[in-house]
Amino acid sequence: MTAVAQREGVGAPTTGVHPPHISVVVPTYNERDNIDELLARLVAAVPAETELIFVDDSSDDTVEAIHAAAERLDVAVTVHHRPEAVGGLGGAVVEGLRRAQGTWVVVMDADLQHPPDLVPQLVAAGDDADADLVVASRYVDGGNRDGLANAYRRVVSQGSTLLAKSMFGRTLAGVTDPMSGFFAVRATSLDAATLRPLGYKILLELMVRTKPRRIVEVPFAFGSRFAGESKSSLKEGLRFLRHLAILRLGKSQLRMLGYAAVGVSGVLPNLVTLQVLTAVFGVHYLTAAVIANQVAIGWNFVLTDKLIFRSRRQRSLLARLGQFAVLGNVDLVARIPLLALLVGELGLGYLSGTAVTLLVMFAIRFFVLDRLVYVR
């Protein structure tokens, strides 16, 4: 749903003739009580032709609040409400970047932790330095992070900055605040189609994937929230770690690594079952081994299905489980003959032979799961 209110002055629609110098993109998720103040301060701060874009995933009446405030202030705004919050905060920002028509796009939060009067300064700094990206930083001289509510948030913020810097040292060199949610980007330097946003850290995504040519920082005081509550959570924290891993490794490599980890973890239920069946129930060790293998397959299936291929569960549960079980048991009939071949015919030691067969089976299973079971 997109609605454009047609008005003169700030935010006047500029489709056609000349693009605005600045577009402001504000992601909103249940921010109804911040809208009045935000919009009033924005309108007071930015040049008249500035384009104002809200990308909303709210379940409350934030959209109505935006329209009401725009009416009161007599400005035009674009409000795009997304039916599904794909990619969370970052997904919303990228949607805004796609829609923005300005030479510069400024991204900022709705809760007034990012001072609206800084918007023109960010853009001016970018123009002066002929930069592609201007980061509003809490960590350069003159900036502060007083708005980080408590010690816990401060530690998390500092920790994630360190982690990101250690993983992407070269790209982030000279940038003190890659976790900032307040920045200005030159539209021509940006191909939004290359972005794969996942959660909060959209600036990091942008820097790692688009490698801006010249970056400058402007200090800012990270204020406290005007109204409402932060939407960040432990779940967002985990999403951030996954985001980092995907940025570093790529999605399919991460998947393969995860699948390998699941496989290794399956050794535990396998051994426990084997032990219980033989020692407690007196089952013959070969029978016990076959049963233990099934238990491990069940374990691996649950983890693989829930964690590794969660987004690609097109087939029915029964089909997935059935195919997974077949793949798991191929081991019993295919790996042992392969081992015999490697050791008997090719003269490999049985330990290295076993290692080779395990790796080969791992690769085959992953390939079949990736291509045939969890279809895209």
User: Considering the complex, what minimum distance in angstroms separates the CB of residue 128 from Mn ion?
Assistant: 28
Q: What is the 3-state secondary structure (H, E, C) of the chain?
A: CEEECCCCCCCCCCCCCCCCCEEEEEEECCCHHHHHHHHHHHHHHCCCCCEEEEEECCCCCHHHHHHHHHHHHCCCCEEEECCCCCCHHHHHHHHHHHHCCCCEEEECCCCCCCCHHHHHHHHHHHHHCCCCEEEEECCCCCCECCCCCCHHHHHHHHHHHHHHHHHCHHHHCCCCCCCCCCEEEEHHHCCHHHCCCCCCCHHHHHHHHHCCCCEEEEECECCCCCCCCCCCCHHHHHHHHHHHHHHHHCHHHHHHHHHHHHHHHCHHHHHHHHHHHHHHCCCCHHHHHHHHHHHHHHHHHHHHHHHHCHHHCCCCHHHHHHHHHHHHHHHHHHHHHHHHHHHHHCCCCHHHHHHHHHHHHHHHHHHHHHHHHCCC
Cα separation of 217 and 219, whole Å? 7
User: Considering the complex, what minimum distance in angstroms separates the CB of residue 57 from ligand GDD?
Assistant: 4
In the list Mn ion, ligand GDD, none, the entry touching 304 (Cβ below 5 to 8 angstroms by class) is none
In the list ligand GDD, Mn ion, none, the entry touching 89 (Cβ below 5 to 8 angstroms by class) is ligand GDD
Which CB atom, from 134 or from 369, has the smaller least distance to ligand GDD? Answer: 134
Write out the residues near ligand GDD by the rule CB under 6 A: 27-29, 31, 55-57, 85, 88-89, 92, 109-111, 113, 148, 157, 179, 181, 200, 230-232
Comparing CA positions, the residue from 207, 208, 226 lying closest to residue 217 is: 207
Which CB atom, from 23 or from 113, has the smaller least distance to ligand GDD? Answer: 113
In the list ligand GDD, Mn ion, none, the entry touching 232 (Cβ below 5 to 8 angstroms by class) is ligand GDD
Contact 175, 215 (CB under 8 A): yes
In the list ligand GDD, Mn ion, none, the entry touching 305 (Cβ below 5 to 8 angstroms by class) is none
In the list Mn ion, ligand GDD, none, the entry touching 190 (Cβ below 5 to 8 angstroms by class) is none
The residue length of the chain stands at 376
Which CB atom, from 99 or from 231, has the smaller least distance to ligand GDD? Answer: 231
Which CB atom, from 49 or from 60, has the smaller least distance to ligand GDD? Answer: 60
In the list Mn ion, ligand GDD, none, the entry touching 88 (Cβ below 5 to 8 angstroms by class) is ligand GDD
Which CB atom, from 103 or from 157, has the smaller least distance to ligand GDD? Answer: 157
In the list Mn ion, ligand GDD, none, the entry touching 360 (Cβ below 5 to 8 angstroms by class) is none
User: Considering the complex, what minimum distance in angstroms separates the CB of residue 53 from ligand GDD?
Assistant: 11
User: Considering the complex, what minimum distance in angstroms separates the CB of residue 114 from Mn ion?
Assistant: 8
User: Considering the complex, what minimum distance in angstroms separates the CB of residue 267 from ligand GDD?
Assistant: 38
Sequence-distant (≥ 6) Cβ neighbours of residue 177 within 8 angstroms: 135, 136, 137, 138, 139, 140, 143, 161, 217
Q: Which residue is nearest to ligand GDD (CB)?
A: 181
Which CB atom, from 94 or from 148, has the smaller least distance to Mn ion? Answer: 148
User: Considering the complex, what minimum distance in angstroms separates the CB of residue 320 from Mn ion?
Assistant: 40
User: Considering the complex, what minimum distance in angstroms separates the CB of residue 150 from Mn ion?
Assistant: 13
Q: First and final CA of the chain: distance in angstroms? A: 28
User: Considering the complex, what minimum distance in angstroms separates the CB of residue 88 from ligand GDD?
Assistant: 4
Cα separation of 270 and 290, whole Å? 10
User: Considering the complex, what minimum distance in angstroms separates the CB of residue 30 from ligand GDD?
Assistant: 7
Write out the residues near Mn ion by the rule CB under 5 A: 111, 113
Which CB atom, from 200 or from 301, has the smaller least distance to ligand GDD? Answer: 200
Which CB atom, from 31 or from 51, has the smaller least distance to Mn ion? Answer: 31
In the list ligand GDD, Mn ion, none, the entry touching 110 (Cβ below 5 to 8 angstroms by class) is ligand GDD
Which CB atom, from 111 or from 370, has the smaller least distance to ligand GDD? Answer: 111
